[in-house]
Copies of this chain bind each other. A is one copy, B any other.
Amino acid sequence: MADKAAPDSTRRSERSRRAIFDAALALVGEVGYDKLTIEGIASRAGVGKQTIYRWWPSKAAVLLDAFTAGVDDYSAQGLPDTGDLAADLKSVLRATVDEFNDPAFQAPYRALAAAGANDEELSRTFVARLMEPGIRVYTDRLRAAQETGEVADGVDVRIATEMMLSPFSQRWLMRTGELTYGFVDTLVDQALHGLRPRG
């Protein structure tokens, strides 16, 4: 009996976790971070709020785990390495364009970013848990490109990553421009080749 009970309970827990994550992401997109409550998440997920409090101390903790569940897969994979740095960067950034232009993805991420602009602790956690792992897959790929000679030795790979990712993030967050394949392709080409004439 004990052998059977454990996997059932694990499956049930996993289903509840998934339902709580989905509810938290949907709700924060609808009502914003300030009005998000544990009660609201519990009700939407169809679980008791004690279930949530047993696993997480706060709504911020639930949300960060909900976002991180997606990011972890991505970080574990890393960026493709076909030996063609420009092509690899463009293919990942184009996929990110599709993701950020999806309204279902937009709303919760924007709510969290907005809350972070006012709340320094939330922002630091958000950056450490969500942004830094995303940045690291780029710096890893650029470092690999340094080894094969596609990127010059002296390049600061962290700042190089910011030159490609920050314009993307800012267009999205501040709505300063469209996120298109053409935009990210130009970003990659200009970052790799530089603004000065070559030759």
Contacts and interface: CB of A to CB of B under 8 A. Distances in A.
Interface stretch (A15-23, A57-65, A111-119): A111-119
A192 interface: yes
Contacts of A87: none
Contacts of A173: 117
Contacts of A186: 156, 159
A97 interface: no
Interface stretch (A3-11, A41-49, A70-78, A160-168): A160-168
Given A160-B195, A162-B167, A174 B32 contact: no
Contacts of A12: none
Interface in A133-167: 142, 149-153, 155-156, 158-160, 162-164, 166-167
Contacts of A194: 190-196
A111 B193 CA distance: 37
A166 B169 CA distance: 8
A192 B195 contact: yes
B159 A190 contact: yes
Contact of A190 (B160, B166, B167, B176): B160
B190 A151 contact: no
Contacts of A191: 163, 190-191, 194-195
30 contacts: A110-B117, A113-B174, A116-B174, A117-B173, A120-B175, A123-B174, A124-B175, A131-B174, A142-B195, A151-B195, A151-B197, A152-B196, A152-B197, A153-B197, A159-B167, A159-B187, A160-B190, A162-B167, A162-B171, A162-B176, A162-B187, A163-B167, A163-B187, A166-B166, A166-B170, A166-B171, A192-B194, A193-B194, A193-B196, A194-B194
The 4 residue pairs across chains A and B that have the minimum distance between CB atoms: A194-B194, A114-B117, A162-B167, A166-B166
